[in-house]
Chains A and B, each alone.
Chain A
């Protein structure tokens, strides 16, 4: 584990969530490309994040609820 690995691991979640500044994003990206062990950890984290989103996005609102919201929006009475 080099110093670069340590600092990459500290910032891995921030990198994954795109919460770093552009120069820092670049720094981490360069290290991940250069260092297979760190790159692998990132790949797993990224894949797991994708998985959570994918699994949860299968639940769409029921048609009845959707219709109810549409009606509510349609009856918007604010007309000056």
Chain B
């Protein structure tokens, strides 16, 4: 039993990078990860060895994070389901690019969509941001995300759908801005 906790160590990078997306600040992220491990340590007897320890740690962390945020409650954005979540593809096509001849990697690099992924993600409203981070970065299944956040699978899917579209729209808008102003904003 006592050896089990040491297995939790290996998730420190995953917890930290996600904490960073949630809190946006390195010192707050570190604090949140410490709180997560302290709680996990305290309740380690409740963890069933052999089950998903990463999901367990993320459940603790997202709960801890939500408790912190209680004083400034997050208001869910109005639900307007977009038709699809491939915003960038549609915009590129609208420009009349011969996309069938181009590799996505090349287009994405050339247009600088990678430059501000973290900022675009951190700009998303929290409910969507949590789901996008858990699915796209941490690669949890919808079912795991539903359990971690205590929401329905349908809610996971709708937040993911809206979150991805909103993320692509932000990446598109950032990449469209002239270079000079992007540098000025980024370095502030």
Using CB atoms and an 8 Å cutoff, list the residues of chain A in contact with chain B: 9, 12-13, 17, 19, 36-37, 40-41, 43-49, 51-57, 59-62, 64-66, 68-70, 72-74, 76-80
**Contact across chains for A13 and B85 when beta carbons are under 8 A apart:** yes
A-B pairs with beta carbons under 8 A, tally: 124
Q: Which of B12, B100, B104, B164 contacts A47 (CB 8 A)?
A: B104
In Å, the complex CA distance between A12 and B161 comes to 11
**Contact across chains for A52 and B16 when beta carbons are under 8 A apart:** no
With a cutoff of 8 Å between Cβ atoms, the chain B residues found around residue A78 in the complex are: 1-2, 44-45
**Contact across chains for B108 and A76 when beta carbons are under 8 A apart:** no
In Å, the complex CA distance between A72 and B135 comes to 29
Q: Which of A19, A44, A61, A80 contacts B13 (CB 8 A)?
A: A61
B84 within 8 A of A: yes
Q: Which of A37, A48, A70 contacts B108 (CB 8 A)?
A: A48
> Per-residue CB proximity of B111-144 to A under 8 Å, as 1/0?
0011001100100000000001101110101100
With a cutoff of 8 Å between Cβ atoms, the chain B residues found around residue A45 in the complex are: 85-86, 89
With a cutoff of 8 Å between Cβ atoms, the chain B residues found around residue A70 in the complex are: 9
In Å, the complex CA distance between A44 and B86 comes to 8
**Contact across chains for A76 and B17 when beta carbons are under 8 A apart:** no
**Contact across chains for A47 and B108 when beta carbons are under 8 A apart:** yes
**Contact across chains for B30 and A65 when beta carbons are under 8 A apart:** yes
CB-CB under 8 A for A66 and B121, given A13-B160, A13-B161, A57-B137: no
Q: Which of B2, B114, B167 contacts A79 (CB 8 A)?
A: B2
B34 within 8 A of A: yes
In Å, the complex CA distance between A59 and B15 comes to 10
B62 within 8 A of A: no
> Per-residue CB proximity of B9-22 to A under 8 Å, as 1/0?
10011011100110
